[in-house]
Amino acid sequence: MKTYHGSCHCETVRFEVNALIEKVVDCNCSICTKKGALHHRVTAEQFKLIAGEDSLGLYQFDSKEAKHYFCKKCGIHSFSYPRIAPDEISINVRCLDDFDLETEQFEAIKFDGRNWEQAAAKIRRGK
């Protein structure tokens, strides 16, 4: 595992993640598409919020199961607690300061979030 350092644009919200990032999820749902998120899930033990807790805003919609956190100063969504795995943290790998999307080796997995229920059912069945 490697320790990655992440932040929002203004660097008010800063965090660390201990992970081996071999896969990222590219979801096409309305919020992920608009914020440009690429996801990698980690356990709570692998995530450490370093700074900016007081500057975090929470956005929820539809079922209100997912918790999307963003910096109230710059608006960047750096992590969330996803509906499909609410006990894990989904890091927006685009917010990792030392993870280069151009040079890192990883598999990008498409998730059909526009058809969330059907896509989630496939994952639960292991397909």
Task: State pTM to two decimals.
Answer: 0.89
**How far apart are alpha carbons 72 and 70 in whole angstroms?**
6
- pLDDT tens, 82-104? 998 999 999 999 999 999 999 99
pLDDT confidence of residue 126? 59
User: Which residue ranges of the chain lie beneath pLDDT 50?
Assistant: none
Give the chain's domains with CATH numbers: 2-124 (2.170.150.70)
* pLDDT for 67: 96
Strands 56-59 and 47-51: unpaired
- In this structure, is the dihedral angle defined by the CA atoms of residues 61, 31, 112 and 122, taken in order, positive or negative? negative
